[in-house]
Structure 1
Amino acid sequence: MASHAPNTVWFDHRDRLAEYFDGTARKAWIDLTSDVKVSGIRATVRAGRERMRSLLLDWLPPDLRRTRLLDAGCGTGALAIQAARRGAEVTAIDIAGGLVEIARERQPSYLGHGKIDWRVGDMLDPGLGTFAHVVAMDSLIHYPAGEIVETVELLAERCTGSIVFTFAPHTALLGAMHRVGQFFPRSNRSPALVPVAEAELRTRLSALPGWRIGRSERVVSGFYTSHALELVRR
């Protein structure tokens, strides 16, 4: 597979997301990813994200000792910490420096055999090296199908085992929300969530040489809807 760079759309989205999560959304995501009481809507999102995180972790090998794992879009670090507790050597990266700072603060003092290298930057940076597994939980939900496939293709160049990621599936509700420009938590400030047709995404991903589509599952919890896909090396 020939190496290539992400296009300008990726960089535009990336910069907008960094500004959003380090500004408007920072406090909301601190609360959402903690144990503090939140509103009913945010509670459904929290529950959905917890279910999705558990699902993606279940798709990884139970023993991750001496295994390099990329948490692509680590946010406040919950998935990275759980993977490290199973022995993984995690590179946890996010474009939002404020969220990574929170993740560092939340890291427990003892991770067993695992370790975490917290980074602020681009998940597609080839300087991060090669990984056995890549996880991208809800970090691609702002991109159309073509951009998702390009991103996964770039991640695949540096992955030897599996890639598990989520996308925003096209449903009647999400389609309507997208048409009127609404997205949790503030429609006038947050980047747009882009609903993607699962069939189209599968068709595009099936053409990725050396990879096959594995497990697939959707998590719906109130205002949270996200679909997980697994890609496995042939």
Structure 2
Amino acid sequence: MSDQSSHNYLDTRARLETYFDKTASQTWAALTSDAPVSKIRATVRAGRDEMRAMLLDALPADLSGARVLDAGAGAGQMSFELAARGAEVVAVDISPSLLEVARKRMPAEFADKISFHAGDMLDPVHGRFDYAIAMDSVIHYRAPDMARMLGELAPRVWQKIAFTIAPQTPMLSAMHVAGKAFPRSDRSPAIIPISENRLRLELAKITERELRKIGRVHTGFYISQAMEVCA
């Protein structure tokens, strides 16, 4: 990454770490459970469930022998689904507290299939993978930074990276602009709407790998688009 891009990436990552590990860890633990939530959060929960299924459908049903990166694993829902398909899962998240929730929720039969790591999803120490999934874990980054993140990860992923963006819809764009007018304090870091074409152009500067659209989920207050970078 360039110096400016690296600065933007590190600054955003620091805000995300504070938010998910301290400010809202209990909120996200509840959202990813069966606990009662508000009507708005219920639509987010339903949307995330639908998106998780969509991303999983982009991978083989049988992942036996495959090594998969769950980038932004959070409370572990995606990791558990991947392990159930036979994958060896490396679950990485910047929030140690959410990973602790995942460890406590992990079914005993997956203990030898999932390893949890607190830190940067891009850290090369995690090794190489057959597949990587990043569900809602890069949606806080600008298109150039997102492209550089994908470009940095791509050489270590043999098959594909499946991930989500916040699509540049009128609703999300208006929410993003309105959010800039208010102090963020303990609210969640801004979700940045991304143009699919802009991301494709930025990614083409870094790698020859192809960017494809998988599908879109719009459930109440949850709007997300699934994409994949293929070998």
Question: Which interval holds the TM-score relative to the shorter structure?
Answer: over 0.9
The AA in structure 2 aligned to 1:32 is L
Per-residue CA deviation, residues 144-201 of structure 1 (Å, 9 max, x unaligned), is 111110000011021111010101111111111111117xxx8852111111112211
Note if 1:179 corresponds to 2:177: yes
> Which residues of 2 match residues 109-148 of structure 1 at below 5 A?
109-111=108-110, 115-148=113-146
> Which residues of 2 match residues 24-103 of structure 1 at below 5 A?
24-103=23-102
1-structure distance, mates of 2:185, 2:171: 15
Which of 153, 156, 173 is residue 155 of structure 1 equivalent to? Answer: 153
The AA in structure 2 aligned to 1:126 is P
2-structure distance, mates of 1:4, 1:175: 27
TM-score, length basis structure 2: 0.92
Aligned-residue sequence identity (percent) comes to 47
2:164, 2:227 within 8 Å by CA — same for their partners in 1?
yes
Q: 4+ runs of 1 displaced by more than 6 Å?
A: 3-6
In structure 2, the residue matched to 1:220 is: 218
2-structure distance, mates of 1:167, 1:192: 13
1:26, 1:99 within 8 Å by CA — same for their partners in 2?
yes
The AA in structure 2 aligned to 1:34 is S
2-structure distance, mates of 1:78, 1:21: 16
2-structure distance, mates of 1:210, 1:123: 22
The AA in structure 2 aligned to 1:68 is R
Which of 168, 171, 176 is residue 170 of structure 1 equivalent to? Answer: 168
1:181, 1:187 within 8 Å by CA — same for their partners in 2?
no
Per-residue CA deviation, residues 6-48 of structure 1 (Å, 9 max, x unaligned), is 7111111111101101122111111100001111100000000
Which blocks of at least 5 consecutive residues in structure 1 are unaligned?
none
Q: May I ask how many residue pairs the two structures share in their alignment? A: 227
2-structure distance, mates of 1:151, 1:53: 21
Compared CA separation, residues 198 and 215, structure 1 to 2 (3 A): closer
TM-score, length basis structure 1: 0.91
The AA in structure 1 aligned to 2:18 is E
Higher normalized helix content (fraction of residues)? 2
Task: Tell me by how many angstroms 1:214 deviates.
Answer: 3.3
